[in-house]
């Protein structure tokens, strides 16, 4: 993909990529305004100045669209954590730091979080790969924070923490969080597993 000079940037491929980004932006914008239900495919397409058919060319369903947005966010979060690693002397503290930073981002905008988490739990075989990708990001973040912990079953701890994290998000965004911040709840879990 380099032999023939691809002319200049801003050609076809770049335009399509831009369109795709616009679509995700539009979806996030609508989600911010009214949550999952407000993300209507016709509106997403209109807001991104794209035909409905084109939206479906890029994302095979509403949930795939939201999952793509979620994957983006997870990847961004992971990048941030790599750029500025979690602080804390002990593994438990570093895990708490990761969870605190993540929760802050998520709680900032409950509607968006709710929409994305809803998509994460949708019943659709085609969504499995993206779900796996999201989980992979979360696990990697926890794994980094736990680096050097002296537990027998590191993988098991990451697994349990990951499940607790995800399920906590789901219940929290359903309004079943009992008002407790996600990070508080999750730090307790980390404490139980690591001390």
Residues that bind its own copies (CB under 8 A): 35-37, 114-115, 117-118, 121-123, 125, 127-128, 131-132, 135, 153, 156-157, 159-160, 163-164, 166-168, 170-171, 173-176, 185, 188-189, 191-193
Cβ burial, residue 143 (10 Å; 0-12/13-18/19+): middle
Q: In whole angstroms, what is the distance from residue 50 CA to residue 162 CA?
A: 37
Q: Establish if 40 lies at the interface with DNA (CB under 7 A).
A: yes
Task: Tell me which residue has tokens 């979620």.
Answer: 70
Q: In whole angstroms, what is the distance from residue 70 CA to residue 28 CA?
A: 10
Among DNA, its own copies, none, partner that 81 touches (CB below 5 to 8 angstroms by kind): none
Among 8, 12, 83, 108, binds DNA (CB under 7 A): 12
Q: For DNA, which is the closer residue by CB, 127 or 158?
A: 127
Distance of CA 82 to the CA centre of its chain: 16
Among its own copies, DNA, none, partner that 4 touches (CB below 5 to 8 angstroms by kind): DNA
Q: Establish if 60 lies at the interface with DNA (CB under 7 A).
A: yes
DSSP state of 86: P
């Amino acid at each position: 993909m380099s032999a023939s000079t691809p002319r200049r940037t801003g050609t076809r491929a770049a335009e399509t990529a831009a369109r795709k980004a616009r679509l995700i932006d539009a979806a996030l914008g609508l989600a911010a305004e009214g949550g999952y239900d407000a993300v209507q495919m016709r509106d997403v397409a209109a807001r991104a100045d794209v035909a409905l058919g084109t939206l479906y060319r890029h994302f095979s369903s509403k949930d795939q669209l939201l999952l793509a947005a979620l994957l983006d966010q997870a990847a961004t979060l992971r990048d941030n954590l790599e750029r500025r690693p979690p602080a804390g002397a002990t593994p438990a503290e570093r895990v708490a730091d990761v969870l605190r930073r993540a929760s802050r981002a998520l709680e900032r905008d409950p509607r968006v979080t709710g929409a994305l988490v809803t998509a994460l739990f949708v019943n659709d075989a085609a969504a499995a790969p993206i779900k796996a990708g999201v989980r992979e990001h979360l696990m990697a973040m926890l794994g980094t924070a736990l680096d050097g912990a002296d537990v027998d079953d590191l993988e098991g701890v990451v697994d349990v923490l990951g499940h607790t994290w995800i399920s906590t998000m789901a219940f929290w965004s359903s309004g079943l969080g009992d008002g407790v911040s996600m990070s508080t709840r999750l730090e307790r879990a980390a404490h139980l597993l690591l001390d």
